[in-house]
Structure 1
Amino acid sequence: MEIINEVNSFVNDIVWGPIMIALLLGTGIFLSVRLKFPQLSRIKDIRKVTLGRMKEDHRRQTEHGTIASAKAGLASIACVVGTGNITGVATAVATGGPGALFWMWLSAFFGMATKFAEIVLGLYYREKNERGEYIGGAMFYIYKGLKSKWMAYFFCIMAIFSYMVCGAIVDTNSIVLGIQAQWHVPPLASGIIMAFLTAIVILGGITRIGDVCEWLTPLMSLIYIFVGGIIVILHLPQLPHAFATIFTGAFTPQGAAGGFAGATVMQIMTVGLARGLNSNEAGMGSSPTLNCSADVDYIENQGFWGIVEVFLDTMIINTVTGLVIVLSGKWVTGISGTELAMHAFSTFMPGHIGNYFILISTFLFGYSCLITSSFLCEVSGEFIWGKKAVLPVRWIWIAFIVVGSIGGLEFVWDLADTANGLMAIPNLIALLLLSGTLVRIYKEKIPTGGKIKDEDANL
């Protein structure tokens, strides 16, 4: 295990070096400018075609997709709103200090354009599989748009590896450690139960996943935002100091304090961007896979769900978690992960209510990821090996949930950062090289199934 840790640390330092940071932020900035900042200029349209059409999408029959647009969007949100919003944020603040939150926000703002671009290109290049289901994702626009089979295969392999680690292992690990800390339940026992609950849903395919996420995603998100928001509102006088600590900490080396080991500005930036990517996944190329199942009239309309996804995940949920931790002052105690979030919320809630709240939230967030992330591995496996890979990937996913229950938190989060970075690189390159096609699709408002006249206009 020590050798694996050393190798991963070496690779992680390379993957998350200055070049990756420039590529991640640079792509978001570049796409925001080329698309004229849709995260700001299209706010009315975003609200109208996403949250404003949820009831309508629930009633309509699918014509241009496998499941309703809202179900696909909510399934994608469920995939990113996971334990990273609690455990990941807590780990980032415990490692890099409050300043890490600033870099999460910055990457998320530009990441909204990145996520929009991923989904738009995903729907444009999607296709039907042998079962009559619409499938797509970054691997499809890399292969069909860039004409690069090896890059598409590399992305698929990294996606499978990344989500087996980030989804099955990380989310399970965060859940079982929280349960163990509160009720002393053996992690393996919790892992087996999680595997069973996940199997019930994912063995039913994308339709059952969409049905579950349609009610699970809004429920878990609203409850967490409401409770955390109440805590923040009740401590409004302390907010200016909290934000000052965050903004100052983003550009100032953090000295050791209490159990906090201290961090350089580069470490603060890196951990903020890495955990931000792990949380909202803007740039990883994951969201197109779930959104490509959507029944939508115009391609750009589904892309707006990507903007909602990043905003809800990072700007709202991550911010709630981060502010509660900073306001509590517990980030200097030396504890991390789910335990830090529990201590922070318990500071403002009577008895053990804070512990139970974080435990339940971690379970719901983690479970939502477990039932959705498997679909990304499934499509990646099908892209390489055909439909025969679908069922084996589902069962391997279930097995990895059990494996995740016995892993160490620090190790799996470090491994997750490396896997995410390797997965993001080919996707970000594709987004840059296909930006011309993206702009044409956006400007011409291409309907689902439609084609632009010149697909080689990628300048």
Structure 2
Amino acid sequence: PNWVTGIILATFTAMVILGGIKSIAKVTQILVPFMIIIYITAASVILLMKISVIPQIFVLIFKHAFTPTAAVGGFLGATVMHAMRMGVSKGVFSNESGLGSAPIAAAAAKTPNPVKQALVSMTQTFIDTLVVCTMTGLVLILSGLWTYGPELKGAKLTAMAFGKFLPGGIGEFIVTLTLIFFAYSTILGWCYYGEKSIEYLFKERAVKIYRVVFVIFVAVGTFLKLETVWRLSDIMNGLMAFPNLVALVGLSAIVVSETNKYYYKRQK
């Protein structure tokens, strides 16, 4: 039931951000990279099993990416504009490119040079989008389950796709477990982003209030429909991206200058 999920998720979140139990956060830091390895390994096994079909899959992707309508089933009637809008919005949701959120975490890192840290942070987008998301997309297409219609989507679609190639419930278990840890670590990460933003705007006195409100919304979020969550996410991402992109353009000269200095020092 949703209320059980909400209570459990809010409790574990509160234990970290309200109770100050750092051990859970430390465990998460260990488990998340481990789960990424497990997920990539599982996807790699599936792709190797069907490696002879991979070229045809890429042909299918490019064919239906540049045609007015898509293949069948769940993509019936989709236009290029709709596909691009969904792709961009979900891509931004996944890798946070241009939102200005990742620099908050990067700023906390102890590094002698901001350019060096920026280069390290750029690997996030590469791993997330070009590795994890691409492998997931290939597995989904290989499974053929995407033709079943719009009722089969999201985590359920991914779990069933992995389960089709990894029998005995292994595929579903891997997807479900990784999703739980990814979701939980994401909640903690965005809580940190919010804390730093609140601290900047209203100083430390407002942080405790923010934490309580955050935990409440974690519980409330479990009662929202998935479509509502996606729409809210797209709206909020847009509100974050616009001022951040304007700032990036305005500060681009500084970025270029600092980058040139960094590479000049490395060449000496």
Superposition TM-score, scaled by structure 2 size:
0.91
- Which residue, 218, 222, 230 being the options, matches 2:45? 230
Letter in 1 for 2:261: E
User: Do structure 1's residue 258 and structure 2's residue 73 form an aligned pair?
Assistant: yes
Mapped to 2, the partners of 1:286 and 1:299 lie a distance apart of 16
Mapped to 1, the partners of 2:73 and 2:85 lie a distance apart of 22
1:254, distance to aligned residue in structure 2 (A): 2.5
- Which residue, 26, 34, 52 being the options, matches 1:219? 34
Matched residue, 1:402: 219
Mapped to 2, the partners of 1:313 and 1:202 lie a distance apart of 26
- Which residue, 150, 164, 174 being the options, matches 1:347? 164
User: Do structure 1's residue 363 and structure 2's residue 171 form an aligned pair?
Assistant: no
Root-mean-square deviation (CA, aligned residues, Å) is 2.0
Mapped to 2, the partners of 1:211 and 1:303 lie a distance apart of 24
- Which residue, 239, 243, 247 being the options, matches 2:54? 239
- Which residue, 101, 106, 128 being the options, matches 1:291? 106
Matched residue, 2:127: 312
SS in 2 for 1:246: helix
1:230, distance to aligned residue in structure 2 (A): 0.9
Mapped to 2, the partners of 1:315 and 1:389 lie a distance apart of 39
Asked if structure 2 preserves the Cα contact closer than 8 Å seen for 1:202 and 1:208, the reply is no
CA gap of 1:325–1:275, structure 2 versus 1, over 3 A, is same
Which consecutive unaligned segments of at least 5 residues does structure 2 have?
A: 264-268
Mapped to 1, the partners of 2:68 and 2:23 lie a distance apart of 48
Compare the two structures and name the one with the higher helix fraction. 2
Percent identical among aligned pairs is 40
- Which residue, 366, 374, 379 being the options, matches 2:191? 374
Asked if structure 2 preserves the Cα contact closer than 8 Å seen for 1:345 and 1:354, the reply is yes
- Which residue, 317, 326, 336 being the options, matches 2:141? 326
For residues 329-351 of structure 1, the C-alpha deviation after alignment (integer angstroms, 9 at most, x for no partner) is 11121211111112211111213
Letter in 1 for 2:101: S
Choose between structure 1 and 2 for higher RCO, CA contacts under 8 A separated by at least 6 residues: 1
Residue-pair matches, total:
261
Matched residue, 1:153: none
- Which residue, 268, 274, 292 being the options, matches 2:89? 274
CA gap of 1:194–1:339, structure 2 versus 1, over 3 A, is same
For residues 294-340 of structure 1, the C-alpha deviation after alignment (integer angstroms, 9 at most, x for no partner) is 11111111112221111111111111211110111111212111111
Matched residue, 1:151: none
Mapped to 2, the partners of 1:256 and 1:244 lie a distance apart of 13
Asked if structure 2 preserves the Cα contact closer than 8 Å seen for 1:209 and 1:371, the reply is no
Which consecutive unaligned segments of at least 5 residues does structure 1 have?
A: 1-185, 447-459
Asked if structure 1 preserves the Cα contact closer than 8 Å seen for 2:38 and 2:174, the reply is no
Mapped to 1, the partners of 2:146 and 2:111 lie a distance apart of 44
Asked if structure 2 preserves the Cα contact closer than 8 Å seen for 1:198 and 1:398, the reply is yes
Mapped to 1, the partners of 2:200 and 2:24 lie a distance apart of 20
SS in 2 for 1:254: coil
SS in 1 for 2:73: coil
Letter in 1 for 2:185: S
CA gap of 1:310–1:205, structure 2 versus 1, over 3 A, is farther
Matched residue, 1:170: none
